[in-house]
A and B are shown apart, each in its own frame.
Chain A
């Protein structure tokens, strides 16, 4: 969906934290803060909840354990009970290595896919970049405008809090398939073109 955003960037995380606090206190809605590296505590300052990605990892891991024990048990006791040197058909200690490996494998692969799904990331996905320097050296704060808000007022507010490179952008907030060597395209512009 196309929305209007006010964008301001910070050079130092020491300015960013008070700014986040002030923006939230003033009642503006922070769309997101884009940073070139993980800044600890920023998620808490922005009021984001803790991620439950690790729960997904646990569930995938348990699935791997069950598949390994269940699968090997079924194969060796029911499907095709081979006599291997007179050894037992359900030797649990001998199953441990494969069970462990499958647990780790399922958990890791499952978690990475969950991560990519939640972040909407895959090859060819394109998202709007508010400031290209936000993967280099700037921390870019993006404030979402409501119908009632005055972008100029927000811009001034950001300036008072030490932001640089302040501007207002119309941007697509979701993701789409596209190429990075093409111009930024807005969905709204295309829709309007179709209606004509």
Chain B
């Protein structure tokens, strides 16, 4: 078995420093076992305040109706659906890291997958709020569920892209949650077995489901993780595809485009990785996890950002080209007058999007900038702003001028309650993330232990001697070492 455990020196170590298994446990579990510091409390309080403001904004919307928002004819989808698509996009990196990179055998995922998956779950929770409260009469929300009811039975329309969305988002949330939690069980058991206080023993005892670490259980858990990854891979691609169908299956110029599914998925991964970057850069600093989330991890994620950013850039250009090439008057009008024309009411949004998503990420072709923490953080924020602009451009610039010039809206801008709802979802996201970072191990401890002897810095140093030996000699020694 040890013969296969050889990994080239050329690959950067994924765990820095001289570690052993116990040291990994200490480093990763200790934040869970200490009291939160002042910084945590400040951040948590801000998040709770935002959440409360959001709850009040939503209360006003439910009480007075959708008129609380500045939606009008023809802008029936404004900030709310923009935010929905934005949050759903952010929720794509976690499953991509944990599922697709698992299938591709990328070992660097072990350092970041737990936190990224948590972000996925919280982001999908935030995203779900928008379509639910956009219904207006939110107490009628259960009408979207297909069940034999006493109203006919009145079934939902299974041909509708909006209903597909209900299924896609709820399935995505459930599967991500299961995937995340089954991976978390062994680490919660580690916390439980180290626990000194009564509360911690009880809480982690319940949360770890009685995990023991039996070989048979590990075998099943690995098989489960592999199949769930296989299921989650097409799932993660399907979710944003179906979200893009909300637009692509309509007949609105600017929306009725076949390029939307791949374009949306690439954009989702792009913004998701940016969010993972911005949060993990803070998390690794605050929790002193620089040895586990190394510059190499950051660089790997920046490579994904530059790749998906370039795909998104190509999509923008081909969308624009096809709008002209198709000779469709309305489509070309939507692009030429509502977007590309910088003097049009929303021209700033289009150029903001182009700058943040297409131009600026190209700087990541430079290795030096990819490995610069401050620059990465700045870029991650920029990308998320750009991706918000993208959704805003797609939604608002396509519908604020429709076929009939007399019904064109003057200018759509949100009310404070519409903005408050958005801020509230930030509150929800960060409240969840702060609690997660405090009470759960933010790094997949068991998975990092499993790669320690392959990719740990000190073990790699030991291997460099072996690398200099000739292959035959190395093989002979390894065989002898295990010929008990």
Complex: how many Å from CA A121 to CA B234?
Answer: 29
Complex: how many Å from CA A134 to CA B213?
Answer: 7
The secondary-structure label for the interface of chain B is helix
What 1/0 flags go to A138-176 for Cβ under 8 Å of B? 000000000000000000000000000000000000010
Pick the contact of B194: A82, A119, A136 (CB < 8 A).
Answer: A136
Pick the contact of A36: B170, B213, B235 (CB < 8 A).
Answer: B213
Judge if A18 is at the interface, Cβ distance under 8 Å. yes
Judge if B171 is at the interface, Cβ distance under 8 Å. yes
Pick the contact of A98: B152, B164, B178 (CB < 8 A).
Answer: B164
Complex: how many Å from CA A39 to CA B223?
Answer: 13
Minimal beta-carbon separation of B177 from chain A (angstroms): 10
**A115 near B221: Cβ-Cβ < 8 Å:** yes
What 1/0 flags go to B72-99 for Cβ under 8 Å of A? 0000000000000000000000000000
With contact pairs A101-B238, A180-B201, A181-B201 given, residues A32 and B216 touching in the complex (Cβ less than 8 Å): yes
Complex: how many Å from CA A126 to CA B210?
Answer: 5
Question: Which of B18-26, B60-68, B112-120, B295-303 binds A?
Answer: B18-26
**B484 near A121: Cβ-Cβ < 8 Å:** no
**B193 near A129: Cβ-Cβ < 8 Å:** yes
With contact pairs A32-B214, A104-B175, A121-B211 given, residues A38 and B158 touching in the complex (Cβ less than 8 Å): no
Judge if A75 is at the interface, Cβ distance under 8 Å. yes
Most B CB within 10 A of own CB, among A37, A50, A84, A132? A37
B-side residues, CB < 8 A to A, are 1-2, 20-22, 25, 146, 152-155, 157-159, 163-164, 167-168, 170-171, 174-175, 178-179, 182, 185-186, 189-190, 192-195, 198, 201-202, 204-207, 209-224, 226-228, 231-232, 234-235, 238, 242, 245, 445-447, 449-450, 481-482, 484
Judge if A116 is at the interface, Cβ distance under 8 Å. yes
With contact pairs A54-B227, A94-B158, A104-B235 given, residues A115 and B220 touching in the complex (Cβ less than 8 Å): yes
Judge if A193 is at the interface, Cβ distance under 8 Å. no
**B215 near A33: Cβ-Cβ < 8 Å:** yes
Q: Which residues of B contact A118 (CB under 8 A)?
A: 220
With contact pairs A43-B215, A82-B157 given, residues A123 and B193 touching in the complex (Cβ less than 8 Å): no
CB-nearest residue of chain B to A30 = B215
Q: Which residues of A contact B234 (CB under 8 A)?
A: 100, 104
With contact pairs A38-B446, A80-B153, A115-B221 given, residues A137 and B21 touching in the complex (Cβ less than 8 Å): yes
Complex: how many Å from CA A47 to CA B194?
Answer: 31
**A36 near B2: Cβ-Cβ < 8 Å:** no
Pick the contact of B214: A34, A100, A105, A132 (CB < 8 A).
Answer: A34
With contact pairs A36-B213, A120-B210 given, residues A105 and B171 touching in the complex (Cβ less than 8 Å): yes
Judge if A62 is at the interface, Cβ distance under 8 Å. no
Q: Which residues of A contact B207 (CB under 8 A)?
A: 123
**A112 near B182: Cβ-Cβ < 8 Å:** yes
CB-nearest residue of chain B to A85 = B159
CB-nearest residue of chain A to B174 = A105
Q: Which residues of A contact B447 (CB under 8 A)?
A: 37
With contact pairs A34-B213, A82-B157 given, residues A179 and B205 touching in the complex (Cβ less than 8 Å): yes
**A104 near B217: Cβ-Cβ < 8 Å:** no
Pick the contact of B210: A21, A57, A132, A175 (CB < 8 A).
Answer: A175
Q: Which residues of B contact A28 (CB under 8 A)?
A: none
Pick the contact of A72: B158, B186, B231, B238 (CB < 8 A).
Answer: B158
With contact pairs A125-B209, A136-B25 given, residues A14 and B2 touching in the complex (Cβ less than 8 Å): yes
Pick the contact of A82: B1, B155, B189, B228 (CB < 8 A).
Answer: B155
Pick the contact of A127: B152, B212, B481 (CB < 8 A).
Answer: B212
Pick the contact of A17: B167, B223, B228, B482 (CB < 8 A).
Answer: B482
CB-nearest residue of chain B to A177 = B210
**B174 near A109: Cβ-Cβ < 8 Å:** yes
Minimal beta-carbon separation of B473 from chain A (angstroms): 19
**A97 near B168: Cβ-Cβ < 8 Å:** yes
CB-nearest residue of chain A to B224 = A115
Judge if A59 is at the interface, Cβ distance under 8 Å. no
Pick the contact of A137: B2, B20, B484 (CB < 8 A).
Answer: B20
7 more contacts with CB within 8 A, not counting A41-B1, A51-B220, are: A51-B219, A101-B167, A105-B170, A105-B175, A121-B185, A123-B209, A126-B205
**A121 near B209: Cβ-Cβ < 8 Å:** yes
Q: Which residues of A contact B482 (CB under 8 A)?
A: 14, 17-18
Complex: how many Å from CA A43 to CA B218?
Answer: 9
Q: Which residues of A contact B221 (CB under 8 A)?
A: 38, 115
**Among all A-B residue pairs, the 9 with the closest Cβ atoms:** A180-B205, A125-B210, A137-B21, A18-B484, A37-B449, A121-B209, A181-B201, A137-B22, A97-B164
**B159 near A87: Cβ-Cβ < 8 Å:** yes
**A51 near B223: Cβ-Cβ < 8 Å:** yes
Q: Which residues of A contact B226 (CB under 8 A)?
A: 54
Complex: how many Å from CA A73 to CA B214?
Answer: 45
CB-nearest residue of chain B to A176 = B210
**A22 near B159: Cβ-Cβ < 8 Å:** no
Minimal beta-carbon separation of B242 from chain A (angstroms): 5
